[in-house]
Amino acid sequence: MALAVSLAALVAVTLFAFIATALGHRLLRLCSCEIAFLPEHLLCSAALGVICTEVCLFLSLLSGNVRIGVVVVIVVIFLLAFSEFKAVSRKLTQVVSSILNGSRLDKTLASLTGLVLLVGGLAAMAPLTGSDALHYHFTTPLLILKLGFHPDFFLSHSFFCGQSHLLILLGLAFGSSQFAMGLIFLGGFLTAAACACLVNRWTSGSWKWIAALVFLLTPVVIWQISAAGAPDLWMAFFATTGVLVISRAKELPRSAHAVLAGALAGGIAGTKYTGCIIAASIAVAFFWEVRSAIGGLFFLSGSLGAGIWPYARNFVWTGDPMFPFMTRWLTPDRVNAYALASYRADTGAGAHNNPWMLLKFLFFAGIDSQHLGFWQFLGPIVIAFAPLLIFAVRRDGMWRTVLLVWVPSALGIGWTSGMTRFLLPILPIALAAVLAGAAHLSVVGWRAARLVSLATIVSFLLFGAAGLFYYDRPALAAATGLISREDYLQARAPEYEKVRFINEVLAGKESEGKTLVFLRHVYYLRVPFVYGDPGASWAIDPAQLQTAEGWRRLFREQGIRWVVRAPEYPAEIASPLLELEAEGQLEPIAETTVHDFQGMRISGNRQSLPLVILEVKR
């Protein structure tokens, strides 16, 4: 049964991709924008269709019933796309036929790529366990569906949610977290295809399949495509497709080309704050290639229409479009200094990156010592093959666009953040470039270097394949029904025992009040809750909550009936809460001992922790 549900979710993802591509295909046709190379045209159609869907989903949040609004959006998109189904089907058939008619090596590599995608897709169907996803990537859309569209200063990471998070909301609106995860997987699939198309612009043969495999088997991509539950891969798809589009400036109608390129830049910026850096790099590349004031206006119009919505939301709610990072300048009276410092440290925004660190970021070689793990490893391919660029780089629009997007984006992300995984959106662009350099070794006749480069690639692919099956093995077992959902969550989801105990104790009491929790992973909570960790909750300011009376006032204003201590209160706010316990204002009503991860989950180490649920006495 679990396998059937997983396959059904993947089929639903395929149908969504087809409908979105048909929608984008219709828009391109209306603009007389036709790209001769069919795979690129279909990728542009898919990108434009997804971006339009995201914008429509954002507008549906303003309706009285978000779930109904989402359904209406999907129905409208289906009706708009219906007339293009036949044309898109015909073009997809032609692409598949060209693959089937390829060389034996091409078909072998295509089959391996399909196998990797199948494994990643099935692994994505496992129950959600990603840490950030359990905290806010999936929790925020779920709360919007339950409670409506409004600011949540307690779960203040919700302000970081961009337009691609609306694809998660789409899946959850139809009652399926697997569908939502599948839409994230779709972003990875499309990015691999775009990476292959980029390599195909420079070299023939099987290098396009090698590029797709190298991308898909990079550890950070394995994690993102199957388990992370974050929509960053859509940024990678939009960025890579943007490079393909900009490089065809002389082939497409000027206004349509400008709007399309701008929409892709806006789609990147609208997904995540760091996307603004990549979008700015794409804008530079576009203006360099087009050099037209009118084209620039069309570009800006496309980018604002496609990506301004999360920033407009934040501005209306907080006065800071990039909340909370500009609040200290725009609305200094509203600053929670403790939470802001925590956010800056967590995202690397407070890091002091020297020129050597920036150089390492440029070649994807930086090591984030504060967040070490499988999910940070971008692989050695870019830095190992970067010297080979000397054989491939030419003075043409394609290479100018690649370098103008890759270099400023990498340096900008390195300057503003110390987290190497934020480089993921430009990874396929850099991989395609350096692999094009490796492909040119056969042209220049360096046989020994060519053999070494091929051995390096094969070694990396074997390493990545081993990592894929090792890392995704438990998820595959859950997705195919070899282990139960409950057993998988028990073994893999952080703080799951805590959440389950809270749900059991407070079941049936949802109408009596909210529960104040300090645990980070709140997606599986089924009771009304308020998130209270001052390191990630703008509403919990330690400077304002140093007295018992301050907490009593908060309990009254927010309708908080229960408080969960597991195992201790955060040190910055512990004293007044312990005082309320001593006074009998917080009375224990249930307690247990749970087992939770100690350190990184991948180590498997666990520790026993006490958990106490206390009732607020009035």
Mean pLDDT, the chain, integer? 93
Q: What is the DSSP letter of 617?
A: P
Q: Give the pLDDT band of residue 240 (cuts 50, 70, 90).
A: very high
Mean pLDDT, residues 75-98: 97
Q: Is the pLDDT of residue 397 over 70?
A: yes
Q: What is the DSSP letter of 227?
A: I
pLDDT at 370: 60
Q: Is the pLDDT of residue 96 over 90?
A: yes
pLDDT (tens digit per residue) in 435-450: 999 998 887 778 898 9
Secondary structure string (H, E, C) spanning 168-185 = HHHHHHCCCHHHHHHHHH
pLDDT at 372: 60
Mind listing the domains of the chain with CATH numbers? 2-474 (no CATH), 494-616 (3.40.190)
pTM of the model: 0.95
pLDDT at 373: 61
Identify the CA nearest to 328 among candidates 37, 583, 538. 538
Q: Give the pLDDT band of residue 375 (cuts 50, 70, 90).
A: low
> How far apart are the two ends of the chain, measured CA to CA in Å?
48
Q: Give the pLDDT band of residue 425 (cuts 50, 70, 90).
A: very high
Question: Is residue 586 helix, strand or coil?
Answer: strand
Mean pLDDT, residues 105-125: 96
- Per the listing, tokens 């020297």 go with 354
- Give bridge partners of residue 46 from the DSSP assignment: none
Report whether 269 contacts 53 (CB < 8 A). Answer: no
Enter the tokens of residue 510.
């949802």
CA distances from 573 to 341, 546, 556, 577, 578 (A): 16, 7, 18, 7, 9
Greater model confidence, 370 or 315:
315
pLDDT (tens digit per residue) in 216-234: 999 999 999 999 999 999 9
Mean pLDDT, residues 81-91: 97
Enter the tokens of residue 481.
């029904």
pLDDT (tens digit per residue) in 520-579: 999 999 999 999 999 999 999 999 999 999 999 999 999 999 999 999 999 999 999 999
Distance from C-alpha of 546 to C-alpha of 569, rounded to nearest angstrom = 13
pLDDT at 125: 97
pLDDT (tens digit per residue) in 263-301: 999 999 999 999 999 999 999 999 999 989 999 999 999
Contacts of 256 (CB under 8 A, 6+ apart): 28, 31, 32, 33
Enter the tokens of residue 575.
């004293």
Distance from C-alpha of 318 to C-alpha of 310, rounded to nearest angstrom = 12
Q: Give the pLDDT band of residue 498 (cuts 50, 70, 90).
A: very high
Report whether 289 contacts 401 (CB < 8 A). Answer: yes
Crossing angle of helices 232-246 and 38-60, in 10° steps, is 130
Identify the CA nearest to 320 among candidates 300, 334, 307, 306. 334
Mean pLDDT, residues 169-189: 97
Q: Is the pLDDT of residue 416 over 60?
A: yes
Contacts of 348 (CB under 8 A, 6+ apart): 368, 370, 416, 417, 418, 419, 422
The mean-pLDDT minimum among 200-204, 218-222, 376-380 falls in: 376-380
Q: Give the pLDDT band of residue 2 (cuts 50, 70, 90).
A: confident
Burial of 604 (C-beta count, 10 Å sphere; 0-12/13-18/19+)? exposed
Q: Give the pLDDT band of residue 371 (cuts 50, 70, 90).
A: low
pLDDT at 374: 58
pLDDT at 358: 84
Greater model confidence, 195 or 369:
195
pLDDT (tens digit per residue) in 575-608: 999 999 999 999 999 999 998 887 666 666 788 9
Secondary structure string (H, E, C) spanning 20-77 = HHHHHHHHHHHCCCCCCCHHHHHHHHHHHHHHHHHHHHHHHCCCCCHHHHHHHHHHHH
The percentage of the chain sitting over the pLDDT mark of 90, rounded to a whole number, equals 83
Q: Is the pLDDT of residue 367 over 90?
A: no
Q: Give the pLDDT band of residue 505 (cuts 50, 70, 90).
A: very high
**DSSP letters spanning 503-531:** HHHHTT-GGG-EEEE--S--TT--S-EEE
Element holding 590 (H helix, E strand): strand 586-597
pLDDT at 610: 94
Greater model confidence, 108 or 368:
108
Enter the tokens of residue 529.
């809750």
Distance from C-alpha of 336 to C-alpha of 538, rounded to nearest angstrom = 6
**How does 64-82 read in b/e, with b if 16+ C-beta sit within 10 Å?**
eebbebbeebbeebeebbe
